[in-house]
Structure 1
Amino acid sequence: MAVDTNTSVQGSGPSASLMNAVNPKKTTSTDSTKADQDKFMTLLLTQLKNQDPMNPLDNAQITSQLAQLQTVTGVNKLNATLESLKGDYKASASLAATNMINRGVLVPGSALQLASGKSIFGLDMGTGADQVQVEIKDGSGKAIHVIEMKNVSAGTVPLVWDGTLADGKKAPDGAYRIAVTATVGGKVLKDAAALTFGTVASVSTGAAGVKLNVPNVGTLTMDDIKQVL
């Protein structure tokens, strides 16, 4: 028996009702606002139809209710605008964060890693200082090197250390700590802090927002970044 290969099957695709059930129409903020307006007008008309003929609503009452409608409508539109801006901000923050991958950053912390005779760290100066002393300490807490600085301005100050000690010898590669003391007129400042260096390895997003993952430092936010190197 021959088979007609030109015969097509009609109605083999999903029906419109099925597609609508699977993909229901999303309610937009405009639809929600219009629905609120319709409800309000229905209630107002019902109130007018059933008002006491001997004590009808005056113009002031009607005007007041219409003003309430405008207020509700305005609030709904404002909320919709804020939600839209919130979404745009999250997308922008995510894009900015991904651009940080493989970039070196200075963030709050006192850790210093000396590798191949090289290390990067920094200072976060809330105010300027006459004198700044930076102590580099070993694992036992002993200061093995001291850096003296004068007339340091407020802001972020990136620094490097090649491992050279006061006697000219080289410190071995490894983990060290930084301690900062800044003074003005002999008075110790409380807004001077050490900054540690790290490289952004990856970015994650979630309910808590955008996070930067920096090995040996931790999970940070964009606000934690004091300087990008």
Structure 2
Amino acid sequence: MIFDVGLGGIYQSTLEGLRSQGIRKELDKNAFLLLMLTELQHQDPLEPLKNKDLIAQLSQLTALEQIMNMSKAVQEFVEAQQMVNPAQLASLIGKYVVMRSNEISVQNGEAESIVFNLDEPAHVVIRIYDENDNLIREEDLGIVEEGMHAWAWDARNDDGIPVPDGIYKYEVVRVDGTNEEEIGGLEGGVVEAVQIKDGKAYVLVNGNLYPIDSIIEISEPREE
């Protein structure tokens, strides 16, 4: 008697049964055991599963369980790192922080400066967008030397018309021929408050909220 245990037979029906319980991207431990037991139940009596084959499959099961346990441990570690500690957050108040930023505020017709850092001389272009992602201002700064730089925006668009108060997005781009690379801007100031929204922490700096994971430097404020 010939038994067909290929993917078109018992394996297929077993897999389809597992899929009916919910879509899985890979087999878990229970699914692996079910497949192995199914193979044992339907093996050819004249050619039973050899010991070495059984040991190989059990080794795969052991490896699978170890990987699953490791993945669980990593996930728990990541979740622990993402937990908000109110005491640590409160210690940020009054500190001077530097953050990655791509937003600039216009208040009472005046705009903040856009600050960026270059690790080497580069051709730099700054682009500013409104709330609808429309390009309203493009400034070609030409070749800029290495180091920290600040560009003062006059809060006007390319036509010289003052823009309304609000929050605008910008990008600092390094241009090399036809290639462009976004550098990203920096924002700095004293932390006025800390807020938690939907389990995520934000710092209030210069009247604006920034995700806490955007902070790249923390220091004591300079004395006036």
TM-score, scaled to structure 2: 0.44
TM-score, scaled to structure 1: 0.43
